[in-house]
Chains A and B, each alone.
Chain A
Amino acid sequence: MVKKEEQEEVNSKRPEVRMDDPASVTDPLFAPYHRTVEEMEAMPVIEKTMTVCPECKLIIPGTIYKDGDYVMIRKFCPEHKWAVEKYWEDYEMYTKMKRYNYFGRGLDNPNYLGQGQNCPFDCGICERHHTHTGLANVVVTNRCHLSCWYCFFYAKEGEPIYEPTTDELDKIFRNLKAAKPIPANALQITGGEPMMHPDIVEVIRRAKKAGFDQIQLNTTGIILGESPELAKQVKEAGCGTLYMSCDGVSPRTNPKNYWEVPNAFESCRQAKIGIVMVPTVIRGINNHEMGAMINFALNNLDVVRAVNFQPVSLVGRMPTRLREKQRITIPGAIKEIEQQTHGAIRKEHWFSVPYVGGINKFIEALTGEYKYDLSIHFACGAATYLILDDNNHIIPITEFVDAAGMVDALQTAVNEMSGKGRLARKAIAVKTLLGIPKFIDKQKQPKSLNFSKMLMNIFLKNDFNAMGALHSKTLFLGMMHFQDEHTYDIKRVEKCDIHYAMPDGQVLPFCTFNVFPEVYRDKIQKQYSIPAKEWQQTHANWNYRADKYFRDVKKLEQDPRFLKTYANMKDFFALDINGGKAVENFPVFKPKPPVEQKVVPPATEKANAA
């Protein structure tokens, strides 16, 4: 057996990808990358925007244009010439999603004084930003027990340690809650591995005390899987959701935590913590298992609330051909799901995140108060709900709700309510809501659900508990595509509502924080870090390798939780009611022979005793 000191750190090796594949030159998937300038310029232009040169970061105009089914972005830097990238892999979906785009409200008290003239290098957040903080990310440590080859978030050996104290984190939380006019209300505690912060339970408690209603932990789930008791403490402290990285349903696609996911599920079951599975989707690496991941989530619907796919953000330098091969965008991922589930979940079932704004605006008009907004750019995210009926029928919500028609009706009502008094507004709202059932197909609606009644409760009584019933029978499917230098669109970043709160008090949109880490994330964290040498002096017995997790695969594979999770998995898509076709790449479980117990011969036993 390999000694612990000699074991390789988990997930630290980059998988080999063939770069000489001749198919990639002729594959239509790559054709838009290899047009001549004249061909590109002849394509229909959809929109102009501002972007950055991936090489030198010069702010340059970008042209979003249609190339067949694809929506592409091209840009020209005087020094580095043309750069072309896929923006969205489906023009039809692009136009459908775009109609829900709208502008939200920025902050009245931005944390940085500036007008954003040099955006995105004036960030902090400035007065130019169009949204309030929808989800606040706070990094509580940059130590991590894994060493993922693609990750830049954790401290490598000898690098400074960033780990604010509970008081410092408390100050960051209060800063987020002081934002005007709408303070942050959802918090994601992240890292590194946040569970490595020695006071993590207290940190969560402080966040709850600061007033965050929704607290998530962005974790591998490994530490909580090992300690159900700690999971209970985390829940009691106020964290209701685990935002858990989980890149696939096989050891090959999910080397990060394939063996530990079952333990995390079990701990969360016991602690009553909901799980959001978060697969980062990379074409050619794990995109073939997207349908299987949804099926995996459906198998664990008692604890899994959502699967939030993140098409990869290819930040940093990498060979052009590799980038083209691995690029996948939201519609590309949605099409993969459609194909792998044989049409059970189709592209028309998805809506962009700002779609919710239509419902939100209706509630605002009805109550006469601004509400928490989701006015991000339409190209940043998409979502749908799946409902698993009593007879295991998978029903996407838009199968029985005419979502587009409903939000149009709500929009008409908002316009009617404009400038009217409260009673008049309420009367219009009631009239509109009485018309809602016509957007719901009762024949197709799951028997266990009364959707129009639920909406009535939400709209008229502001009773969001009804949503709880929806969540318990449903699986939320989300897509969130963070930008990189190649896809960068300043119009998107101006509307970003996923923000990072920094130790120096500034707040940054996700796609400036992570796309330009050299001037934001790494720079500011380094300022507030402790040099590795000092950390070692102040933390007896600490060393880099002592932080690392080393797995015992054999032991984990014999664990009843592992067998329960993987051995008895059902293929919901193969059921007749769901089309009867097996989901692609359904993981076939091959049980491993039990570890042999060494039987000590009696003679030796006697000798040992002697």
Chain B
Amino acid sequence: MDRRDNQQVEKTKELEQEGQMKEGSSHFITEDGKQYRMPYTIIKKVIFKNLDQKELQDIPHSARLQYRLLLFDAVIKAKVDFHKKFIRIVYNHPEANNIKEKISRQKLIEFLANEGVHVNEAPENFEETDYDYQKELYNYAYFPPSIREAPPYGWTKEEWKRHKEEEEKKKYRMEHPTMLDKLLGLNKKKDVKKGSGMKLHP
């Protein structure tokens, strides 16, 4: 076995530059000097709005339609929202600069029509924008922000909401004691009474 590391990346680029490989999959991004494969760059996001809820039927049928959309290799993400009456599709459009499978918006519209969902391209019902795969999908998945905060052990969400500020001040003071704190021993770890506690096997 040969040690390879990122030789694959270099080799693909080399072959492309030499003209030996016409359509290599050599789109990479560089982070901290390291290269990572990136299958898509700028693709498209289309949202069909104000759909007829009768056509979407219900949540299970909307979910199945979402599944069926995802069966297209060129559909990267799909969301069919029954309640909000929209379909959002992130797809690899025919003009995109990559070697992956592609699909046109027209094909998607035809497919949806076959599935019994009729969309129209009037400005108020339709929105299409460029979608930066790296920024909007890849980077989100790799560096996801916190969308909620689990309270520390023993606290319920409500209790923590009320006491968070006070507790964090205490914690900060423990970690950054003043001279007076040190003299009074306030920086020593105390047995802090916790919230009402968590129940086992709720």
Q: Are A118 and B5 in contact (CB under 8 A)?
A: no
Q: Are A167 and B6 in contact (CB under 8 A)?
A: yes
Find residues 556-585 in chain A having any chain B CB closer than 8 Å to their own CB. none
Give chain A residues whose Cβ lies under 8 Å from the Cβ of B4. Answer: 165, 198-199
CA distance A202 to B2 in the complex (A): 12
Question: Is the C-beta of B154 less than 8 angstroms from some C-beta in chain A?
Answer: yes
Question: Is the C-beta of B138 less than 8 angstroms from some C-beta in chain A?
Answer: yes
Q: Are A199 and B200 in contact (CB under 8 A)?
A: no
Residue of A nearest to B31 (CB): A171
B71-112 Cβ-contact flags toward A at 8 Å (1 or 0): 101001001111100000000000000011000000000000
Question: Is the C-beta of A284 less than 8 angstroms from some C-beta in chain B?
Answer: no
CA distance A368 to B100 in the complex (A): 51
Interface of chain B: mostly helix, strand, loop or mixed? loop
CA distance A418 to B149 in the complex (A): 21
Residue of B nearest to A418 (CB): B197
Residue of B nearest to A426 (CB): B191
Q: Are B73 and A417 in contact (CB under 8 A)?
A: no
Question: Is the C-beta of B114 less than 8 angstroms from some C-beta in chain A?
Answer: no
CA distance A99 to B150 in the complex (A): 25
Q: Are B154 and A368 in contact (CB under 8 A)?
A: yes
A524-544 Cβ-contact flags toward B at 8 Å (1 or 0): 001110110010011100000
Give chain B residues whose Cβ lies under 8 Å from the Cβ of A421. Answer: 191-194
Which of these, B5, B12, B142, B199, contacts A171 with CB under 8 Å?
B142
Count, chain A residues at interface, CB 8 A? 75
Give chain A residues whose Cβ lies under 8 Å from the Cβ of B66. Answer: 118, 121-122
Q: Are A118 and B59 in contact (CB under 8 A)?
A: yes
Q: Are A175 and B142 in contact (CB under 8 A)?
A: yes
A398-433 Cβ-contact flags toward B at 8 Å (1 or 0): 000000000000010011011111110000000000
Question: Is the C-beta of A291 less than 8 angstroms from some C-beta in chain B?
Answer: no
Which of these, B71, B138, B146, B202, contacts A505 with CB under 8 Å?
B138
Report the stretch among A102-110, A242-250, A343-351, A447-455 that lies at the interface: A102-110
CA distance A111 to B147 in the complex (A): 10
Q: Are B141 and A422 in contact (CB under 8 A)?
A: no
Shortest beta-carbon distance, B128 to chain A, in Å?
20
Give chain B residues whose Cβ lies under 8 Å from the Cβ of A531. Answer: 25, 99
Which of these, A59, A357, A417, A534, contacts B201 with CB under 8 Å?
A357
Report the stretch among A145-153, A186-194, A328-336, A515-523 that lies at the interface: A515-523
Shortest beta-carbon distance, B86 to chain A, in Å?
12
Residue of B nearest to A530 (CB): B25
CA distance A505 to B147 in the complex (A): 17
Shortest beta-carbon distance, A420 to chain B, in Å?
8
Q: Are A417 and B197 in contact (CB under 8 A)?
A: yes
Shortest beta-carbon distance, A133 to chain B, in Å?
13
Question: Is the C-beta of A164 less than 8 angstroms from some C-beta in chain B?
Answer: yes
Residue of A nearest to B100 (CB): A527
24 pairs from A and B in contact (CB 8 Å cutoff): A58-B63, A59-B60, A60-B60, A103-B202, A108-B148, A112-B140, A114-B79, A121-B64, A121-B70, A127-B148, A167-B5, A171-B34, A198-B2, A368-B194, A369-B152, A419-B154, A421-B194, A504-B138, A505-B137, A523-B70, A523-B73, A534-B25, A538-B15, A539-B8
